Structure 1
Amino acid sequence: MTVERGNFLVFEGNSGVGKTTQLSKLSKLLDWTTFIEPGGTEFGLGIRDIVQGVNRKYEIDPYAALLAYSASRANLIRTEIRPRLEKGEDVLLDRYWYSTFAYQGAQGVSKPIVWAVSWLATGGLRPDAVLHYDLIPEIALQRKAGNSDVDRFDIMKIEFHRRVRANYRQLARIPRVLPGMPDKWITIDASGSIDQIYNNSVSILKELGFLNV
């Protein structure tokens, strides 16, 4: 008997847009298995601390960050996400290789190289949809201020965050048929209140067929 692959939904967005807040709220409705990137495994959490920790005094080259994130991603996909999808389980993921395209691309890493390395790391696993929460960095970073969950990218200059946002918006325009791109990419205006964004997200999930409530 063939088991139908589970649904695979990714949440993306620049720092401070409220993406993780929305994922936390929506995961209670969907009741799917949820993972974060980098993380999801002990190995991935180690990578997260090494690359993103604000108290780390050593320099991390952007290409080294690309490879570190990709190693974490490869492990998460192969040990957790793909096996669950193949058993018919549904998965929510907080960030995927699109974050690497946006963030390491903003650091000057060649985007074709990001794409090639990410294809290798993920084995070409495509999400069914990406919910991309979009907000200008000036407001997003104000929201992030005072948050205890701050990493080394959060404290970079505003010009960096503008490049990150521009890279996400570039991804939104890339044809879905290209390798590694999701079946659907939905950009959500994250300038409203938490409840407004949540209600909009619920409506979109219903339209996509992920919610029946």
Structure 2
Amino acid sequence: MSRDGHLIAIEGANEVGKTTLAHCLAESFLERGESCRVFAFPGNDAGTLGSLVKRIHENPPSFDVQDIEPTSLQLLHVAAHIDAIEGRIRPLLKEGTNIILDRFWWSTLVYGRVSGIDKGVLEEMIDLEQKYWDGIFPEKVFLIDREVPLNSDADRDSWDQIRNEYLNFAESDEHSYPVEIISNDASVEEVVERLRSSVDSVLGRARST
């Protein structure tokens, strides 16, 4: 009987290098002959609700929408997350496929707080999403951090606020799974090696030479 796949989540503010690192980490599974998929939240795969929500988020006017109220926007993201969990992530894990997540439900919390969503409403959103994660726990969540965003044109005030929210949450005691903060201020090769070593350690497997 095949075992379930492993779930690793990579979180952090925009422009910290999450996507690059997620794909590099996936390569380490593939190099061992293990199946692995990378999923981004809300989503990049064509024909999915996540991809649609991403496009609406990035360019509302192209869908004849001028403005999206923050609570409504975050609910769209939660719907996309649930769709991915039930439609693809849970079945693939059951088949033994390892999954690297480019964002986790943490993004619902952090971006919801920063956008000023009512605390009680935000908690209900997170409770709803976590119901669909029922029985699925990441082996580890990596919070990728940098002193400055990779894109020098990023709004630093907003970026710093999001970064600090992530750091505060990662350092809290609200987690039932291992959490590690990874600085992405070194070379990609160095950071990927640290990620690989940490994953090998948590999965209890020997490093390949």
Q: TM-score, normalised by structure 1?
A: 0.81
Identify the match of residue 112 of structure 1 among 120, 123, 137.
123
Contact persistence 1:10–1:92 (CA under 8 A): yes
4+ long deviations beyond 4 Å: 54-57
Say which SS state the counterpart of residue 144 (structure 2) adopts: strand
Displacement, 1:145? Answer: 4.5
Alignment partners' CA distance in 2, 1:30 and 1:159: 37
The count of corresponding residues between Structure 1 and Structure 2 is: 195
Alignment partners' CA distance in 2, 1:128 and 1:99: 18
Displacement, 1:182? Answer: 5.2
Alignment partners' CA distance in 1, 2:130 and 2:11: 18
Identify the match of residue 36 of structure 1 among 36, 40, 44.
40
**Unmatched runs of 5 consecutive residues or more in structure 2:** 31-35
Identity of aligned residues (%): 22
Contact persistence 2:146–2:185 (CA under 8 A): yes
Match of 2:84 in 1: 76
Matched, 1:129 2:128: no
Say which SS state the counterpart of residue 133 (structure 1) adopts: strand
Superposed CA offset, 1:103-135 (max 9, x none): 222111225344323324544632221111111
- Following superposition of structure 1 onto structure 2, how do residues 160-179 of structure 1 map, counting pairs within 5 Å? 160-175=158-173
Say which SS state the counterpart of residue 91 (structure 1) adopts: strand
Alignment partners' CA distance in 2, 1:75 and 1:209: 28
Say which SS state the counterpart of residue 14 (structure 2) adopts: coil
- Following superposition of structure 1 onto structure 2, how do residues 10-25 of structure 1 map, counting pairs within 5 Å? 10-25=9-24
Contact persistence 2:184–2:191 (CA under 8 A): yes
Superposed CA offset, 1:79-110 (max 9, x none): 10011112222111111111121122211122
Alignment partners' CA distance in 2, 1:17 and 1:209: 25
Contact persistence 2:60–2:66 (CA under 8 A): no
Which deviates more, 114-123 or 85-94? 114-123
Which deviates more, 90-99 or 194-203? 194-203
Contact persistence 2:11–2:104 (CA under 8 A): yes
Displacement, 1:22? Answer: 1.1
Alignment partners' CA distance in 2, 1:165 and 1:28: 27
Displacement, 1:199? Answer: 2.1
Q: TM-score, normalised by structure 2?
A: 0.82
Contact persistence 1:73–1:121 (CA under 8 A): no
Q: Which amino acid aligns with 1:131?
A: F
Matched, 1:200 2:208: no
Displacement, 1:195? Answer: 2.0
Alignment partners' CA distance in 2, 1:186 and 1:54: 35
Contact persistence 1:132–1:185 (CA under 8 A): yes
Q: CA RMSD for the aligned pairs?
A: 2.4
Say which SS state the counterpart of residue 144 (structure 1) adopts: coil
Q: 1:99 to 1:28 in 2, by over 3 A?
A: same
Contact persistence 2:75–2:125 (CA under 8 A): no
- Following superposition of structure 1 onto structure 2, how do residues 148-159 of structure 1 map, counting pairs within 5 Å? 157-159=155-157
